[in-house]
Amino acid sequence: LALGTYLIAHDENIMYMIDIHAANERINYEKYMKNLSIQQTYTTNMLFPLQFEYTHNEFLKLKDNIEFIKSLGFEIDEFGTNTYRVTSHPSWLKEGYEEESIKKIFELIIEISDKFDRVKFNEAAATRLACKMSVKANTNIGYLEQEELINNLFKCDFPYTCPHGRPTIIKYPIYELEKLFKRVNS
Protein backbone atom coordinates (compact mmCIF):
# COMPACT_ATOMS: atom_id res chain seq x y z
CA LEU A 1 0.00 0.00 0.00
CA ALA A 2 1.49 3.35 -0.95
CA LEU A 3 0.17 6.60 0.47
CA GLY A 4 2.26 9.02 -1.55
CA THR A 5 4.86 9.77 1.05
CA TYR A 6 4.87 6.45 2.85
CA LEU A 7 4.57 2.84 1.93
CA ILE A 8 3.11 0.24 4.21
CA ALA A 9 4.08 -3.42 4.02
CA HIS A 10 4.06 -6.29 6.45
CA ASP A 11 5.17 -9.82 7.01
CA GLU A 12 3.85 -12.27 9.56
CA ASN A 13 5.14 -10.42 12.59
CA ILE A 14 5.98 -6.88 11.67
CA MET A 15 4.38 -3.95 9.94
CA TYR A 16 6.84 -1.71 8.07
CA MET A 17 6.19 1.91 7.33
CA ILE A 18 8.67 3.16 4.78
CA ASP A 19 9.42 6.76 3.90
CA ILE A 20 9.68 6.53 0.11
CA HIS A 21 11.95 9.52 -0.42
CA ALA A 22 14.30 8.56 2.43
CA ALA A 23 14.48 4.94 1.25
CA ASN A 24 15.12 5.99 -2.33
CA GLU A 25 17.79 8.36 -1.09
CA ARG A 26 19.57 5.60 0.81
CA ILE A 27 19.59 3.36 -2.26
CA ASN A 28 20.87 6.10 -4.55
CA TYR A 29 23.40 7.30 -2.00
CA GLU A 30 25.06 3.91 -1.76
CA LYS A 31 25.09 3.65 -5.55
CA TYR A 32 26.76 7.06 -5.91
CA MET A 33 29.26 6.31 -3.14
CA LYS A 34 30.31 3.12 -4.92
CA ASN A 35 30.71 4.93 -8.22
CA LEU A 36 32.69 7.74 -6.62
CA SER A 37 35.09 5.42 -4.86
CA ILE A 38 36.08 3.17 -7.73
CA GLN A 39 39.34 4.04 -9.46
CA GLN A 40 38.22 3.11 -12.95
CA THR A 41 36.14 5.86 -14.52
CA TYR A 42 33.80 5.23 -17.40
CA THR A 43 33.06 8.23 -19.51
CA THR A 44 30.11 8.99 -21.72
CA ASN A 45 30.60 11.31 -24.65
CA MET A 46 27.86 13.85 -24.94
CA LEU A 47 26.02 14.30 -28.17
CA PHE A 48 25.44 17.91 -27.25
CA PRO A 49 28.21 19.51 -25.20
CA LEU A 50 26.97 21.65 -22.32
CA GLN A 51 28.21 25.08 -21.37
CA PHE A 52 28.33 26.42 -17.86
CA GLU A 53 28.90 30.05 -17.11
CA TYR A 54 30.20 31.23 -13.75
CA THR A 55 31.28 34.34 -11.94
CA HIS A 56 35.00 34.97 -12.27
CA ASN A 57 35.62 33.78 -8.74
CA GLU A 58 33.70 30.55 -9.26
CA PHE A 59 35.45 30.03 -12.57
CA LEU A 60 38.84 30.24 -10.85
CA LYS A 61 37.80 27.84 -8.12
CA LEU A 62 36.84 25.28 -10.69
CA LYS A 63 40.11 25.92 -12.49
CA ASP A 64 42.01 25.14 -9.29
CA ASN A 65 40.34 21.76 -9.24
CA ILE A 66 40.33 21.03 -12.93
CA GLU A 67 42.57 17.97 -12.65
CA PHE A 68 40.27 16.51 -10.02
CA ILE A 69 37.23 17.21 -12.20
CA LYS A 70 38.90 15.40 -15.09
CA SER A 71 39.78 12.49 -12.85
CA LEU A 72 36.07 12.01 -12.16
CA GLY A 73 35.52 11.32 -15.85
CA PHE A 74 34.70 14.76 -17.22
CA GLU A 75 36.15 16.18 -20.37
CA ILE A 76 36.05 19.88 -19.83
CA ASP A 77 37.67 22.91 -21.35
CA GLU A 78 37.56 26.67 -21.05
CA PHE A 79 35.17 28.14 -23.53
CA GLY A 80 35.04 31.91 -23.59
CA THR A 81 34.75 34.21 -20.61
CA ASN A 82 34.22 32.44 -17.30
CA THR A 83 32.62 29.56 -19.13
CA TYR A 84 33.39 25.88 -19.30
CA ARG A 85 32.32 23.43 -21.90
CA VAL A 86 31.75 19.83 -20.92
CA THR A 87 31.97 17.28 -23.72
CA SER A 88 31.86 14.07 -21.70
CA HIS A 89 30.81 13.06 -18.23
CA PRO A 90 31.18 10.09 -15.88
CA SER A 91 28.84 7.30 -17.03
CA TRP A 92 27.18 6.94 -13.65
CA LEU A 93 25.25 10.22 -13.91
CA LYS A 94 21.56 9.49 -14.08
CA GLU A 95 20.29 9.54 -17.65
CA GLY A 96 18.13 12.51 -18.44
CA TYR A 97 19.56 14.45 -15.46
CA GLU A 98 23.08 14.99 -16.73
CA GLU A 99 22.97 18.79 -16.75
CA GLU A 100 21.44 19.00 -13.28
CA SER A 101 23.96 16.50 -11.93
CA ILE A 102 26.94 18.30 -13.42
CA LYS A 103 25.70 21.61 -11.98
CA LYS A 104 25.39 20.04 -8.53
CA ILE A 105 28.86 18.52 -8.67
CA PHE A 106 30.54 21.74 -9.83
CA GLU A 107 28.59 23.77 -7.29
CA LEU A 108 29.91 21.51 -4.55
CA ILE A 109 33.49 21.77 -5.80
CA ILE A 110 33.23 25.57 -5.77
CA GLU A 111 31.78 25.44 -2.28
CA ILE A 112 34.52 23.32 -0.75
CA SER A 113 37.43 24.35 -2.98
CA ASP A 114 39.16 26.31 -0.20
CA LYS A 115 39.41 23.21 1.97
CA PHE A 116 39.04 20.49 -0.57
CA ASP A 117 38.86 17.01 0.89
CA ARG A 118 38.09 13.95 -1.21
CA VAL A 119 36.23 12.08 1.51
CA LYS A 120 34.03 15.07 2.22
CA PHE A 121 33.47 15.58 -1.48
CA ASN A 122 32.30 11.99 -2.01
CA GLU A 123 29.95 12.15 0.97
CA ALA A 124 28.40 15.46 0.00
CA ALA A 125 28.18 14.70 -3.72
CA ALA A 126 26.52 11.35 -3.08
CA THR A 127 24.07 12.85 -0.57
CA ARG A 128 23.06 15.80 -2.75
CA LEU A 129 22.75 13.81 -5.95
CA ALA A 130 20.80 11.08 -4.14
CA CYS A 131 18.34 13.63 -2.75
CA LYS A 132 17.86 15.28 -6.13
CA MET A 133 17.40 11.99 -7.98
CA SER A 134 15.00 10.39 -5.52
CA VAL A 135 11.22 10.25 -5.72
CA LYS A 136 9.75 13.32 -4.05
CA ALA A 137 7.44 12.99 -1.08
CA ASN A 138 3.80 12.78 -2.07
CA THR A 139 4.39 10.96 -5.33
CA ASN A 140 2.43 7.84 -6.02
CA ILE A 141 4.60 5.01 -7.23
CA GLY A 142 3.34 1.83 -8.84
CA TYR A 143 3.27 -1.60 -7.30
CA LEU A 144 6.38 -2.83 -9.12
CA GLU A 145 8.31 0.25 -8.09
CA GLN A 146 7.26 -0.31 -4.48
CA GLU A 147 8.50 -3.87 -4.58
CA GLU A 148 11.75 -2.84 -6.21
CA LEU A 149 12.24 -0.08 -3.65
CA ILE A 150 11.84 -2.48 -0.74
CA ASN A 151 14.12 -5.10 -2.31
CA ASN A 152 16.82 -2.57 -3.12
CA LEU A 153 16.57 -0.97 0.31
CA PHE A 154 17.25 -4.25 2.05
CA LYS A 155 20.27 -4.82 -0.20
CA CYS A 156 21.84 -1.62 1.18
CA ASP A 157 24.68 -1.70 3.70
CA PHE A 158 22.78 0.66 6.01
CA PRO A 159 19.11 0.38 5.09
CA TYR A 160 17.64 2.01 8.17
CA THR A 161 18.57 5.66 7.69
CA CYS A 162 18.78 8.09 4.80
CA PRO A 163 22.14 9.83 4.19
CA HIS A 164 20.91 12.76 6.31
CA GLY A 165 20.27 10.44 9.23
CA ARG A 166 16.48 10.29 9.05
CA PRO A 167 14.87 6.88 9.46
CA THR A 168 13.77 5.09 6.30
CA ILE A 169 11.70 2.43 8.03
CA ILE A 170 9.55 2.38 11.13
CA LYS A 171 8.72 -1.09 12.34
CA TYR A 172 5.67 -1.92 14.34
CA PRO A 173 5.02 -5.41 15.74
CA ILE A 174 1.75 -6.91 14.50
CA TYR A 175 1.24 -8.20 17.99
CA GLU A 176 1.06 -4.63 19.30
CA LEU A 177 -1.47 -3.77 16.60
CA GLU A 178 -3.58 -6.69 17.62
CA LYS A 179 -3.51 -5.40 21.15
CA LEU A 180 -4.71 -2.01 19.94
CA PHE A 181 -7.53 -3.63 18.03
CA LYS A 182 -8.24 -5.74 21.09
CA ARG A 183 -7.75 -8.94 19.17
CA VAL A 184 -5.47 -10.20 21.88
CA ASN A 185 -5.42 -9.51 25.57
CA SER A 186 -2.51 -7.47 26.74
Where along the sequence are the contacts to Zn ion (CB under 5 A)? 25, 131, 162, 164
Closest approach of Zn ion to the CB of residue 152, in Å: 16
- Select 64 or 107, whichever has its Cβ closest to Zn ion: 107
Distance of CA 147 to the CA centre of its chain: 19
Closest approach of Zn ion to the CB of residue 24, in Å: 9
Three-state DSSP class for 27? helix
DSSP state of 74: -
What is the chain's Cα-based Rg?
Answer: 21
Q: In what order do the strands lie in the sheet with 43-53?
A: 43-53, 83-90, 75-78
- Select 69 or 133, whichever has its Cβ closest to Zn ion: 133
Give CA separation, 128 vs 14, 43, 133, 145, 148, in Å.
32, 21, 9, 22, 22
- Select 75 or 100, whichever has its Cβ closest to Zn ion: 100
Closest approach of Zn ion to the CB of residue 115, in Å: 24
- Select 29 or 52, whichever has its Cβ closest to Zn ion: 29
Closest approach of Zn ion to the CB of residue 164, in Å: 3
Give CA separation, 34 vs 4, 57, 126, in Å.
29, 31, 9
- Select 82 or 161, whichever has its Cβ closest to Zn ion: 161
Closest approach of Zn ion to the CB of residue 163, in Å: 6
Give CA separation, 82 vs 56, 74, 77, 100, 132, in Å.
6, 18, 11, 19, 26
